Amino acid sequence: MTENTSRLPLAGTPSLLRAINDRAALQLLLENGPLSRTQIGTLTGLSKPTASQLLARLEAAGLVVPVGTTEGGPGPNAQLYQVDPAAGYVAGLDVTTSQVRVAVADITGRTLAEHVVPTKGWPAAATVEKVGEAVAETVRRAGLAPGSLREIVIGVGGAPDPVTGKLRYASHLPGWHSPRLTDELSAALAAPVSIENDVNLAAVAEQASGAAQGCEDFVLLWAGEGTGAAIVIAGRLHRGFTGGAGEVGYMPVPGAPV
């Protein structure tokens, strides 16, 4: 009787294992600040030679930099490393009926600049142009060169349909309904753009550094200008087939007009 090898788990390749180790070390450096080679090895369970090779790869890739040495302990001082803040820059946008708020941060999460632009009088057809101007001004205030952003995420009070690309539940946001809007913004801003429901993004923030830290399953209920919710199951956002999961403000309520 022969064994069906197609169902056996594949062994991790050396390149995959290196990538997993590198990512784990980067996460530790982001969460714990400067660490020595020995500390990284202890926290990850890697040997000193493996930790040294890992740090050499990350330094060559421009992701970590040496930042001094340990002091006061037994033995020789150890070199400390931290994530290089200049390794990547991102922008986040909060879009409402009255304004667009832009923030630019480095890879460590430190906010470098913020800029708020009122949207009163914006022609719907000028949305891409106006957003581009707002982001460019924020990048300038952050002291960065044009084209420095690696990723841009836009939070809106609506639900992007993953199939059609259209923005649902957002009649209050004229100019944000083109199915090609993401592509148009990416071209104008010279960086990948993602559009996400604003309450979903609030849930991601709570999961990363707020009340939902360590929670695999939770619901965030949002009550502001409108009412919404975000659902996280097994650690991942649950958006629904058309992106509308959590749009509780649109649920029929007995005795209320549809």
pLDDT tens, residue order, the chain (258 aa): 444 544 544 456 888 888 898 999 999 999 888 999 989 989 988 888 888 999 999 999 999 999 888 776 666 778 899 999 999 999 999 999 999 999 999 999 999 999 999 999 899 999 999 999 999 999 999 999 999 999 999 999 988 888 888 888 888 899 999 889 999 999 999 999 999 999 999 999 999 989 999 999 999 999 877 788 999 999 999 998 888 888 888 777 788 776
Kindly indicate whether the domain formed by 87-196 is annotated with CATH number 3.30.420.40.
yes
The pLDDT of residue 72: 60
* Tokens describing residue 136: 């460019």
Q: pTM of the full predicted structure?
A: 0.83
CA atoms within 13 A on the CB side of 133: 9
Which residues on adjacent β-strands are paired with residue 106? 89
Cα separation, 82 vs 90, whole angstroms? 19
* Tokens describing residue 26: 């980067």
CATH 1.10.10.10 domain extents, the chain:
13-84
* Locus of tokens 């010279």: 190
Cα separation, 28 vs 253, whole angstroms? 47
Which residues on adjacent β-strands are paired with residue 193? 152
Kindly indicate whether the domain formed by 13-84 is annotated with CATH number 1.10.10.10.
yes
**Closest to 44 measured CA to CA, from 63, 24, 27, 29:** 24
The pLDDT of residue 256: 79
* Tokens describing residue 168: 């649902």
| E strand or H helix at 19 | helix 14-32
CATH 3.30.420.40 domain extents, the chain:
87-196
